């Protein structure tokens, strides 16, 4: 397989090109760490939260990462809906 060929575009994937760090940073900025811990109840958001500790946990825990990604998509839908009002 030739590694020099670019990966196919994913126009329908809203997470394409978005890093986990960007997601966590956006969610913490929008909801705050307390709000984020209420929506995704994991210790990395409620006990001495930081982007670095959250990334470390989320990269090792697929179910939590899925919840965070889903919350991010929900936040984007909310923002788009509010912008139309």
Q: What is the pLDDT of residues 3-58, one digit of tens each?
A: 555 556 676 888 889 999 999 999 999 999 999 999 999 999 999 999 999 999 99
In the chain the domains, ranked by start, together with CATH numbers, are 20-84 (1.10.720.30)
Q: What is the pLDDT of residues 58-75, one digit of tens each?
A: 999 999 999 999 999 999
Give the Cα separation of 53 and 2 in Å (integer): 35
DSSP state of 7: P
End-to-end CA distance of the chain: 49
Give the Cα separation of 35 and 75 in Å (integer): 12
| pTM for this model (two decimals) | 0.83
Confidence (pLDDT) at 1: 47
């Amino acid at each position: 397989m030739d590694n020099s060929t670019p990966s196919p575009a994913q126009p329908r994937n809203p997470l394409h090109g978005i890093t986990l760090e960007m997601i966590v940073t956006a969610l913490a900025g929008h909801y705050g760490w307390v709000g984020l811990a209420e929506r995704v109840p994991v210790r990395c958001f409620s006990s001495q939260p930081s982007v670095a500790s959250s990334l470390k946990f989320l990269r090792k825990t697929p179910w939590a990462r899925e919840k965070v990604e889903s919350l991010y998509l929900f936040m984007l839908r909310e923002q788009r809906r509010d912008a139309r009002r």
